[in-house]
């Protein structure tokens, strides 16, 4: 592994599959960080393919399961990280297809 990448260390990005988190991960990889990304379903390749296409992702991205609604879900993931970027947002209800009906 290139020394440049080893010196930057490990960071965690919550909600890694989201739009903003994806751009953040791209910038972190380009800066030489190893990224631990949290997602609800690390086996959902269709939803994660855009992350694996990022330069350096195969070598320096690890995706792990975590859920904001589960206490302690992030504990092991953030242990040993130099920083945490908390981008995740809980999905509590599915939006209605009727614009007149608001979700609860």
Query: Band of the pLDDT at 89, cuts 50, 70, 90?
Result: confident
Give a yes or no: residue 97 inside a domain. no
**How many domains would you assign to the chain?**
1
Give a yes or no: residue 46 inside a domain. yes
Which CATH number covers residue 9? Answer: 3.40.50.720
Task: Express each pLDDT in 61-81 by its tens digit.
Answer: 999 999 988 999 999 999 999
Other beta carbons within 10 angstroms of residue 65's beta carbon come to 13
Give a yes or no: residue 93 inside a domain. no
Give a yes or no: residue 95 inside a domain. no
Whether residue 4 has pLDDT greater than 60:
no
Domain containing 13 equals: 3-86
Give a yes or no: residue 100 inside a domain. no
Give the containing element (helix H, strand E) for 34.
strand 34-39
Whether residue 20 has pLDDT greater than 80:
yes
Task: Express each pLDDT in 37-59 by its tens digit.
Answer: 999 999 999 999 999 999 999 99
Residues in the chain: 104
Whether residue 97 has pLDDT greater than 90:
no
């Amino acid at each position: 592994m290139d020394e440049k990448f080893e010196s930057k260390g490990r960071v965690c990005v919550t909600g890694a599959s989201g739009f903003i988190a994806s751009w953040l991960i791209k910038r972190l990889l380009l800066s030489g960080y190893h990224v631990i990304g949290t997602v609800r379903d690390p086996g959902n390749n269709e939803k994660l393919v855009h992350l694996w296409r990022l330069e350096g992702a195969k070598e320096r991205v690890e995706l792990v399961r975590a859920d904001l609604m589960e206490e302690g879900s992030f504990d092991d993931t953030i242990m040993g990280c130099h920083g945490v970027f908390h981008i995740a947002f809980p999905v509590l209800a599915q939006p209605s297809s009727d614009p007149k009906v608001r979700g609860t």
